[in-house]
Amino acid sequence: MKELKKNKEEILELTATFVQNTLKDAESGHDWWHIQRVWSNTKHILQHEQADELVCELTALLHDIADSKFHNGDETIGPRIAGEFLKSIEVDPNVIEHVQKIILNMSFKASLGDVTFHSKELEVVQDADRLDAIGAIGIVRAFTYGGFKNREIYNPNIPPVVHQDKEAYKNTTAPTINHFYEKLLLLKDKMNTPTAKAIAAERHAYMEDFLKQFYAEWNGDK
């Protein structure tokens, strides 16, 4: 007898388990906790936005399954692994294709290149991921990444730049404080949904306070 089609909850549970196992040894910026926060941001945004829940939640779970940064810049590896897994649990091919397209196009890096795909579902998950790059968690993730890469925390002689170009953004070795100007402080105005915009405004203000305090301490003013 043919097995009955899996329902949404079953698909999400199997996917969450797969992601948790796959990311067991991931670095802390992209570990299971990041995925869990992005998943929960996604569900929160979905309470206020009309979008396909299964596509959004699956993408939230699978969007960092294989980061091109750790695979010689291969940007197709994430969508490929996500697709193979979803196929193995017999998810609808249209859903699989949509999830793959979002993963390929949702990153900040991709947004600096030629973005070839857009959908409401992409907007929701992109916002959910970007929210996790700002605020208190965003600050901690940036310095964790910088430490992992052995970057300077700050260097007053290296002024921050806003990269227009994907390659320049990818290849920077600038101090971590510069990353605020390269990306983190730009995210508030790039949010797609009103729900994420409101959350981002508060998290942005928190980062600005942090930077003010940081420079004051650096200069011995506080």
Interface with ligand ADP by CB under 6 A: which residues? 29-30, 64, 67, 107-108, 129, 133, 138, 141-142, 145-146, 172, 176, 179, 183
Amino acid sitting at position 92 = D
79 touches which of ligand ADP, Ni ion, none (CB within 5 to 8 A by kind)? Answer: none
135 touches which of ligand ADP, Ni ion, none (CB within 5 to 8 A by kind)? Answer: none
Using the minimum distance from each CB to ligand ADP, give the nearer residue, 2 or 24.
Answer: 24
In contact, 114 and 147? CB cutoff 8 Å? no
CA trace torsion 14, 18, 21, 22 (10° rounding):
-170
83 touches which of Ni ion, ligand ADP, none (CB within 5 to 8 A by kind)? Answer: none
Q: Where along the sequence are the contacts to Ni ion (CB under 5 A)? A: 64, 129
Up-side HSE of residue 182: CA atoms within 13 Å toward CB? 24
In contact, 45 and 120? CB cutoff 8 Å? no
Least distance between Ni ion and beta carbon 14 (Å): 20
Reduced to 3 states (helix: H, G, I; strand: E, B; else coil), residue 158 is coil
Using the minimum distance from each CB to ligand ADP, give the nearer residue, 94 or 150.
Answer: 150
Least distance between ligand ADP and beta carbon 183 (Å): 6
Those residues with Cβ within 8 angstroms of residue 60's Cβ, 6 or more apart along the chain or in another chain: 35, 38, 39, 41, 42, 125, 128, 129
Those residues with Cβ within 8 angstroms of residue 19's Cβ, 6 or more apart along the chain or in another chain: 32, 35, 61, 62, 65
Using the minimum distance from each CB to ligand ADP, give the nearer residue, 35 or 91.
Answer: 35
Using the minimum distance from each CB to Ni ion, give the nearer residue, 117 or 218.
Answer: 117
Least distance between Ni ion and beta carbon 7 (Å): 26
Using the minimum distance from each CB to ligand ADP, give the nearer residue, 91 or 107.
Answer: 107
The CA radius of gyration of the chain, in Å to the nearest whole number, is 18
CB-nearest residue to ligand ADP:
141
